[in-house]
Amino acid sequence: MNKILIRNCRYLVTLPGSMDGMIENGAVYIEGSGIVAVGKSPEIEAQYGHQTGIDTLDAHEKAVLPGLVDAHNHVGEVHSLLVPGWLEAPLTGIIDATDRMYWPAYNWLTEQSAYDLTLFGLLNVLKHGATTHADAMIFPDAIYRASLEARARTIIQPQMITSVQLSDARDEQEYLAHTEAAIRNYHAVGNGLIHVDVHPSAIYNCTEGMLIKGMELASKYEVHFVTHIAESPDEMDRLGALFSDRGGIIQYLRSIGLLGPRTILFHGTLLNEGDIDILAESGTSLVHCPSTNAWFGYCAYLPYMLQAGLRVGLGTDCVTHNMFNVILSVLQHHNIMPRGLRRVDPMLIFELATLGGARLLGMQDSIGSLEPGKKADLITLDLKDNTSLFPLSPQVFYSMLALNGAGCEANDVLIDGVFVRRNSEFTFLDESAIIARARQWCDKFSIDYHRMKGANQPMFHRVHQEFQHHKERFI
């Protein structure tokens, strides 16, 4: 069994959201995949440091933090970020973005390209300190293989859709079968490193039948039901009109049994106070993704969500974003949004990025803080030559981290008690080779995209128009 002692931590954050959870000159002792003890370095060293074969990391010029939790990402879609540069007109909202950007990029993917591009995305996820992430993408087998290779704590959320046919499945039945197979094969494997959720892509692009069957599948295996909602006006206006006789989209979801503690919604950018109250009362959770939501000019009403008691985590929603940037976005956006409630305290923002995401994912008993009995998922930030996180004291630590931590790379990353990154170098992954393969796939996508556009070939096959919710259709 491996034994690791991280000692002399300049700042050790054990419990996010509490000043009592910060220890100066702290230490963490780890055996196997779990944390055994935390406390002042002299005491922890005296109790555990005398053992032979112990791996010791001196952190006297480092901050040691719980690993960040990226509760919503699309890790294998980096090639799609090329598409906006090729469009004649800018994207106007999420419906336009899926039609002209995401579905062409997703439909181009293969099992191999999805695997290689997921590995590339994991480089960025891990490099910026997210030890746990949720990946809403197609090709779940590729996500599984890449996650195991990177030793990343991953919640696989295989994306299902009925309005278009993409490259990984032909229809609703095949999507549901793929998701069920992923749950049976991968859920809770790798010492609990991999989890699987049920993920109908969005309310507007799945039939009611798919949504209901998705919830039945999630209930059968006791996993989460996750979906996108209320990202931009082009979506929300049509959903509002479609469900006006049902009291709106949130009332509709409640009426068909899709709200509750099993449900996680992504974005919720345009939800009003009444919608938020219903979600909070039902026990539903929501992932706030301010950085990407700002692309369309909107931001979820996070201060009200927190006041209402809604369970909230944070997500990047984009493979090349990172959680420290998201923390900055939360700090900035909610200070300037012209609403009745403003500002989120920096210490609370960090809690949302760690324990908040863990609670939302139902993993708060194992991750999100550094406490005995929990998984040894942690990161370090090098403070030696850091001109951004300077000067530091316990009193300004969280505000400095929120304001100036954007873009920080983790010096060390432990997941399940294993160094996946040490002294700013990956221990298992060949970073240069992975980036080179990703660049080749992006070059190939560029060639294939322009060839198909030049030949006026469809980029994907549409099965039915979106915003169709009669479950007897298309099934």
Give the whole-angstrom CA distance, residue 18 versus residue 344. 15
SS3 label, residue 62 = strand
The pLDDT assigned to 474 comes to 35
Structure-token pair, residue 57? 């990391």
Report cis status (omega within 30 of 0) of the bond before 140.
no
All structural domains of the chain: 3-67+370-425 (2.30.40.10), 68-360 (3.20.20.140)
**In this model, does residue 470 exceed pLDDT 60?**
no
Q: Which amino acid is at 181?
A: A
**In this model, does residue 475 exceed pLDDT 90?**
no
Give φ, ψ of 155 to 5 degrees.
Answer: -105, 110
Calculate the CA dihedral of residues 408, 411, 412, 415 and round it to 10 degrees: 20
The whole-number average pLDDT for the span 245-264 is 96
Closest listed residue to residue 234, CA positions, set 89, 94, 84: 94
SS3 label, residue 347 = helix
Q: pLDDT band for position 469 (50/70/90)?
A: low
**In this predicted model, what pLDDT tens digit does every residue of 46-71 receive, in sequence order?**
999 999 999 999 999 999 999 999 99
Are 361 and 346 a contacting pair, CB within 8 Å? no
Closest listed residue to residue 30, CA positions, set 416, 410, 424, 358: 416
In total, the chain counts a number of residues equal to 475
Structure-token pair, residue 474? 């298309």
Give the whole-angstrom CA distance, residue 77 versus residue 320. 9
Closest listed residue to residue 319, CA positions, set 126, 451, 462, 458: 126
CA distances from 224 to 170, 199, 218, 259, 265 (A): 24, 8, 6, 11, 10
pTM across the whole model: 0.97
**In this predicted model, what pLDDT tens digit does every residue of 370-403 receive, in sequence order?**
999 999 999 999 999 899 999 999 999 999 999 9
Give me the DSSP letters along 193-221: TEEE-BEE-BSTTS-HHHHHHHHHHHHHH
Give the whole-angstrom CA distance, residue 354 versus residue 474. 41
